[in-house]
Amino acid sequence: MKNVLLVLLSVATVVVNAQDRPQRGPYNTLPGGVVDGVAIQDEVPVRAKVEYEYVRASDVAWQKRVFSRIDAREKMNHDIFLPYDAFDGDLASGSLYRPSNASEIDDPTWNKDQRRWSLWTIMMRHIFLGDLTVYRVASEFYPDAEDGYSLKYPIQRQGQNDYFEVKKYRNDVNALLASGGLGPKLRIYRPLSEDTMDVIKTAQTLTEYLDSLRSDPDYEELFGIDQTKLQEWWNFATVNSPVRKEAISMFVPSNNIVAFHIKEDWYFDKERSILDKRIISIAPVARYTFNEPEEGELPTRGELLIYDQLGKPYLFSSLTNVFEEHEGRVEEREMFWLYFDELRNVIINYYVYNDKNDAQWMSFDDLFWKRKFASTIYRVSDKFDRELEDYKFGVDALYESERIKERIRDWEHDLWHF
């Protein structure tokens, strides 16, 4: 009897947790029994990826590590980057989209298409929901060596709800997904002293701090602030540092993503007698400010830029606490890396637009499996550990990319040539 009760309690717990999680994917069913279409779209939120073919190390007769760029400007790649999403807000106050729990993940302040989403929208949503592990592009201690494609620097999480419940994890993730800076300092006017003062956190609790000032009319403004907000700002600050309001930030919308970089292995499996390709990791690419390196030093990563609908870049200014138009040089860099096999469990449930038939959409997983995208090689494994642009420039780098592809095809062709 006890075992039966334990099973029932476990099932009930799973059901309750499942109800707290939002459903996957856009739907064509609306409140009030409205169906936006002829039929209700099939949606299988528990559909899992088809596992890759098992490959033994002894069966890999040849292998090459290849890094490729999936560019948003390529017509064949539009299905990956479209449709665009947008976040409500402005450059003065930042993004209004600030989900506090999983049920708010599809808040209307994140404007998304009703029927389908871009790969970036899907990535962001499931990073928030805790379904994907985010890997930094470089170590926190050695940020100049950007070797994050090896998936060595994960942002550690304990559970699916860490984004909503663990402040450090949320801040680490937002630092990669959003452009912004520290919030403005909490500053109050003191009428008797006729000056303004920054509120500095002490070793006291907020209640103790306020009690020590309650009888002083100079600090009357401090007691007029919402106590819940004040407690949140106080908790976030460190001792002997200024208490700051919420950080002003803008999440990166999908039209700011200029490419995806993929790391894959091309190998020959002699057991199946096939030259196969397998994506290992994937990274979104956005634009950052360019930091001119000092003589003899490597260039360092700049600040993430936000582009408006007119294509103008904006950068957060710590002096004015607003986003200002950036007129300097920019460069493209990877934002973070994701383990592609983990991502497949997510994108198997989202569909890609079909130009020829709205009733036959393939999933994003199918798109990558069938390699229905255009890519350009920018790096391959070699003894110099370098990118193509380190020794070829401009058009010559594109020619070198095609030459590498052709060399691999020739290798496969020669394998069967007698």
Q: What is the DSSP letter of 327?
A: -
Residue 15 has what pLDDT? 42
The whole-number average pLDDT for the span 359-368 is 89
The answer to whether 186 touches 241, Cβ cutoff 8 Å, is no
Residue with the larger pLDDT of the pair 256 and 106: 256
96-105, 153-162, 363-372: least confident range: 96-105
Q: 172 and 197 share a domain?
A: no
Q: 85 and 133 share a domain?
A: yes
- Structural domain of residue 104, as residue ranges? 74-180+251-257+281-368
Instruction: Give the pLDDT band (50/70/90) at residue 75.
Output: very high
372-401 tens-digit pLDDT: 999 998 888 888 877 777 777 778 878 788
Residue 403 lies in a domain: no
Number of folded domains in the chain?
2
Residue 374 has what pLDDT? 93
Q: 83 and 166 share a domain?
A: yes
- State residue 332 phi and psi, 5-degree precision: -100, 135
Q: 144 and 195 share a domain?
A: no
Q: 350 and 203 share a domain?
A: no
162-177 tens-digit pLDDT: 999 887 888 889 889 9
Output the CA–CA distances (angstroms, integers) from residue 229 to 208, 234, 243, 246, 291, in the order listed.
17, 9, 11, 9, 36
Flag whether pLDDT at 185 surpasses 80.
no
Residue 135 lies in a domain: yes
pTM summary value = 0.80
Q: Which two tokens stand for residue 355?
A: 């130009």
The whole-number average pLDDT for the span 302-317 is 87
All residues at 6 or more sequence positions from 376 whose CB lies less than 8 Å from its CB, including other chains: 68, 69, 71, 398, 401
- State residue 368 phi and psi, 5-degree precision: -75, -35
